[in-house]
Amino acid sequence: MTESAQSLDLSDTLAPMREEFLLPEDVVYLDGNSLGPLTRASKTAIDRVVSKQWGDDLISSWNRHGWIDLPERVGEKIAPLIGAAPGQVLCVDSISINLFKLLSAALALRPGRSTILLTENDFPTDGYVAEGLASLIGGDRCRLRRVSPASLTDALDEDVAVLMLTQVNYRTGELYSMEALTRAAHEAGALVLWDLAHSAGALPISLDACAADLAVGCGYKYLNGGPGSPAFVYVNQNHQAAIRQPLSGWLGHRSPFDFSPSYEPAAGVLQFQAGTPPIISLASLDAALDMFAAVDLESLREKSLALTSYFMERLSSVESLRDLRVLTPQDAGSRGSQVSVAHPQAWGISQALIEAGIIVDFRAPNIVRFGFAPLYNSFSDAQAALKELASIFESGRHEDSKFQQRPKVT
Amino acid sequence: MTESAQSLDLSDTLAPMREEFLLPEDVVYLDGNSLGPLTRASKTAIDRVVSKQWGDDLISSWNRHGWIDLPERVGEKIAPLIGAAPGQVLCVDSISINLFKLLSAALALRPGRSTILLTENDFPTDGYVAEGLASLIGGDRCRLRRVSPASLTDALDEDVAVLMLTQVNYRTGELYSMEALTRAAHEAGALVLWDLAHSAGALPISLDACAADLAVGCGYKYLNGGPGSPAFVYVNQNHQAAIRQPLSGWLGHRSPFDFSPSYEPAAGVLQFQAGTPPIISLASLDAALDMFAAVDLESLREKSLALTSYFMERLSSVESLRDLRVLTPQDAGSRGSQVSVAHPQAWGISQALIEAGIIVDFRAPNIVRFGFAPLYNSFSDAQAALKELASIFESGRHEDSKFQQRPKVT
């Protein structure tokens, strides 16, 4: 508690990883949970893919530079980060599109059951996609049931086909127990679909060990793939023989270049491809993932918790910040890699921080999120954020009228 | 007919456009119908978006550099190329994913009808996606009927909800009449969904004037957006009040950053967004489209037809090439911007051409495609391809045993 940020940074074994990131000098970036920063590796890879591959080798790059297998290769790089043995992860489309594929498939794997169980405060797209599926196939075949996180286990009745849950809640930063909830779902005869958007790349995940069924995750948050880089999908090998997803585009075909008239799905997780993938965005993610090969995930988790603990402990000890209500669990085992605080003037606070170079984000209606990415954030970053918060509350800058208008993206 | 390629090139008013493309010196690129080449504009834009926007401005780029509106802005750049007034085109996802959205929506717009009518030789993904939709919602609500192109009009019975057709066939290069087929479909009470993959950017298209209902198209062929760049979707304004698509991700929400629990679609075509778009790939397409502002589409079409006519006329006049059967219509009004020839040794021919620097492609089982992109191909390119074809048949190089094995991508 009393150790200084500088001293903690000096003994941080992950500190050298920051050199892999092209972060601007004048900002403290605490928003990697929204968009991870540019890496040296991505910049180099994008230059190469654009100039040498697309530019010089043109169409032949699909074979010569292995573009055709890139979704699979990137999936295999993500696999060890989420505790998946090979052959179960594919990098493809967006989380929204992948949820549609997996929810459709999950309902088919549990005939006679029609409920998708989710929490009422989960990331909206997860519910929106389930609503879209219900509107398409009918409420008798697809029913949404939203309950509080604490009621999930009790809500697992015999109609639940699939429990869908973001492992780390985007608002609160709460980390749910993959092991306990997967076991509870299985005991009730349901499948589990984990959304790893706020956990992949930030903490160790054990999909296989928990016997999780299905998962999706994001390429552009803690994996640093770049804005809107493709998402990923995980299908446990136990389901691969039976699973079938309905967005059957040509690249999910067993032999796409036979151009045969009828669809036959590729084996395993490869059938989750649909159309042609955005190669440049995908190559950026591919390159950004390489740094994880040198990272021990237990050390990553240890640093993540040390950063959030440092921030939370000091936040609560500053008298002028007592109106900031911490939403993130104090219990380290229930905490992701962000700290969320609630305040009626959260919007003004977030904007005053950003103006001072402390990049955080706001989530309606009243949350400021401080994302700590253990690969590049330091204890000095956390200290700078705390110092600026105190300065804001002393000056009242967050109440400035210029912070009344919210732009399109918050 | 007797004018030389060099003379035709000298009087080609579009010839200066070739300077916008970073084509390698040593190739004749006749595969822009698969992957358009890198442009100077895309290269510059990608550098800027990666280093300055993502790298320096990080998450703030969503507002500061208008990433959030990029799908809409790119859609509006495509609109004039396809004969669409503003507010009807969005750049998003892949053709496969967009077909699923539009086919689902089309069936809902024609209650009581269940048939999706398509041709038996259309690009496979169009049929595959319809199969996937049928498997999800049931054969009673979604029936595929595949007929020959010549039988389309006769097949328009009272169960047809939507006729789905690629305007230029990917195998033969045949151009179908948007006006006549749209009228026939409407007279039968059906909607039309046009796939513009092989026409957008190669010839003028008149979606609004034909009162076409729905369309999709490709960003990486004649629009030169880069490998796997996002596709686009068109929804005629007459349908926008009633249409609803089922892949309801958060960016298709009316107010995504309110993070409200229930889905409310954005107005108009904007509801066709789903997840977060791949910004780098999208920015590349955005930049490549700018050159079209300087291009008159009638001149583009004139040059395209002059190129394919030049190629076809001379091909048929060379005795040694008489075994190459031309599949592309002689009638200019029924011709897209490619010439397809059939031959039992099409694979070997295509590979011998590529080895000699004439980049074409092969489509199973027996087609060689010569794509002519009027923005950068010259009559000298066509002449070089003819010369090489003749040389191949004289030498028999296409029968070489090294051309027995087909790679993953053809």
pLDDT in tens, B286-330: 999 999 999 999 999 999 999 999 999 999 999 999 999 999 999
Q: Which residues of chain A lie closer than 8 angstroms to B246, CB-CB?
A: 100, 132-133, 135-136
Q: Which of B38, B127, B146 lies closest to A50 in CB terms?
A: B38
Characterize the bridge pairing of strands A361-363 and A367-371. antiparallel
Q: Does residue B220 have an active-site annotation?
A: yes
Give which of A100, A258, A410 to mutate to test B binding, by max B Cβ within 10 Å. A100
Residue in A with minimal Cα distance to B141: A137
Mean pLDDT of A364-388: 97
Residue in B with minimal Cα distance to A107: B136
Residue in A with minimal Cα distance to B28: A58
Q: Tell me the HSE value of A100 on the side-chain side, using a 13 A CA sphere.
A: 34
DSSP B372-393: --TTT--HHHHHHHHHHHHHHH
Give which of B48, B95, B257, B368 to mutate to test A binding, by max A Cβ within 10 Å. B257
CA A231 – CA A217 distance, rounded (Å): 6
Q: Which of A247, A354, A364 lies closest to B258 in CB terms?
A: A364
- Chains A, B: CB contacts within 8 A come to 299
Above pLDDT 70, what percent of chain B?
100
Distance to chain B for A326, nearest Cα, Å: 20
Listed in sequence order, the residues at least 6 apart from A52 whose beta carbon sits closer than 8 Å to its beta carbon are none
Q: What is the mean pLDDT of chain B?
A: 97
Give which of B58, B63, B171, B271 to mutate to test A binding, by max A Cβ within 10 Å. B58
Q: Does residue A369 have an active-site annotation?
A: yes
Q: Does residue B123 have an active-site annotation?
A: yes
Instruction: Look at residue A308 in the predicted model and tell me its pLDDT.
Output: 98
Distance to chain A for B50, nearest Cα, Å: 7
Mean pLDDT of A17-26: 97
Residue in A with minimal Cα distance to B132: A246
CA A142 – CA A140 distance, rounded (Å): 6
Among A74, A28, A66, residue whose Cα is nearest residue A49:
A66
Q: What is the pTM of this model?
A: 0.98
Q: Which helix (H) or strand (E) holds B364?
A: none
Listed in sequence order, the residues at least 6 apart from B52 whose beta carbon sits closer than 8 Å to its beta carbon are none
Q: Is B256 helix (H, G, I), strand (E, B) or coil?
A: helix
Contact check, Cβ <8 Å, B137/A135: no
Tell me the pLDDT band of A404, cut-offs 50, 70 and 90. Answer: confident
Contact check, Cβ <8 Å, B136/A262: no
Contact check, Cβ <8 Å, B263/A410: no
Alpha carbon B50 to its chain's center: 27
Q: What is the pLDDT of residues B366-398, one digit of tens each?
A: 999 999 999 999 999 999 999 999 999 999 999
Mean pLDDT of B7-20: 98
Asked if residue A1 has pLDDT above 80, the reply is no
| List of E strands, B127-224 | 143-147, 160-166, 191-195, 214-217
* Token pair 């980049």: residue: B359
Instruction: Look at residue A406 in the predicted model and tell me its pLDDT.
Output: 86
Among A64, A52, A33, A225, residue whose Cα is nearest residue B281:
A225
Q: Which of B34, B54, B246 lies closest to A227 in CB terms?
A: B54
Question: b/e per residue, B266-280, with b = 16+ CB within 10 A?
Answer: bebbbbbbbbbbbbb
B338 within 8 A of B385, measured Cβ to Cβ:
no
Which of B123, B141, B145, B403 is an active site residue?
Answer: B123
A314 within 8 A of A148, measured Cβ to Cβ:
no
A81 within 8 A of A297, measured Cβ to Cβ:
yes
CA A239 – CA A217 distance, rounded (Å): 19
> Is the ipTM here above 0.90?
yes
Mean pLDDT of A142-154: 96
Which of B21, B29, B176, B220 is an active site residue?
Answer: B220
Contact check, Cβ <8 Å, B127/A97: no
Q: What is the pLDDT of residues A324-356, one digit of tens each?
A: 999 999 999 999 999 999 999 999 999 999 999
Which of A101, A314, A363, A369 is an active site residue?
Answer: A369
Q: What is the pLDDT of residues B101-142, one digit of tens each?
A: 999 999 999 999 999 999 999 999 999 999 999 999 999 999
Instruction: Look at residue A407 in the predicted model and tell me its pLDDT.
Output: 87
Among A200, A218, A227, A197, residue whose Cα is nearest residue A38:
A227
* A147 bridge partner residues: A119
Q: Which residues of chain A lie closer than 8 angstroms to B47, CB-CB?
A: 47
Q: Which of B124, B261, B277 lies closest to A250 in CB terms?
A: B124
Which of A31, A93, A195, A286 is an active site residue?
Answer: A195
Q: Which of A54, A94, A407 lies closest to B249 in CB terms?
A: A94
> Higher-confidence residue: A405 or B60?
B60
Contact check, Cβ <8 Å, B38/A54: yes
Contact check, Cβ <8 Å, B244/A135: yes
Which of A123, A145, A208, A301 is an active site residue?
Answer: A123
Tell me the pLDDT band of B408, cut-offs 50, 70 and 90. Answer: confident
Contact check, Cβ <8 Å, A46/B50: yes
CA B218 – CA B196 distance, rounded (Å): 7
CA B126 – CA B123 distance, rounded (Å): 6
Q: Which residues of chain A lie closer than 8 angstroms to B282, CB-CB?
A: 228, 278
Asked if residue B192 has pLDDT above 90, the reply is yes
Instruction: Look at residue A340 in the predicted model and tell me its pLDDT.
Output: 98
B138 burial class (0-12, 13-18, 19+ CB within 10 angstroms)? middle
| SS3 annotation, chain A | CCCCHHHHHHCCCCHHHHHHECCCCCCEECCCCCCCCCEHHHHHHHHHHHHHHHHHHHHHHHHHCCHHHHHHHHHHHHHHHHCCCCCCEEECCCHHHHHHHHHHHHHHHCCCCCEEEEECCCCHHHHHHHHHHHHHHCCCCCEEEEECHHHCCCCCCCCEEEEEEECECCCCCEECCHHHHHHHHHHCCCEEEEECCCCCCCCCCCCCCCCCCEEEECCCCCCCCCCCCCCEEEECHHHHCCCCCCCCCHHHECCHHHCCCCCCECCHHHHHCCCCCCHHHHHHHHHHHHHHHHCCHHHHHHHHHHHHHHHHHHHHHCHHHCCCEECCCCCHHHECCEEEEECCCHHHHHHHHHHCCEECEEECCCEEEEECCCCCCCHHHHHHHHHHHHHHHHHCHHHCHHHCCCCCCC
Give which of A276, A338, A406 to mutate to test B binding, by max B Cβ within 10 Å. A276
Q: Does residue A221 have an active-site annotation?
A: yes
Q: Does residue B221 have an active-site annotation?
A: yes
Instruction: Look at residue B404 in the predicted model and tell me its pLDDT.
Output: 81
Put the strands of the sheet holding A232-235 in their side by side order.
A89-91, A232-235, A214-217, A191-195, A160-166, A115-119, A143-147
Written as six digits, the tokens of A242 are 């039976």
**Cis amide bond preceding B80, omega within 30:** no
* C-alpha distances out from residue A15 to A221, A300, A339, Å: 19, 11, 20
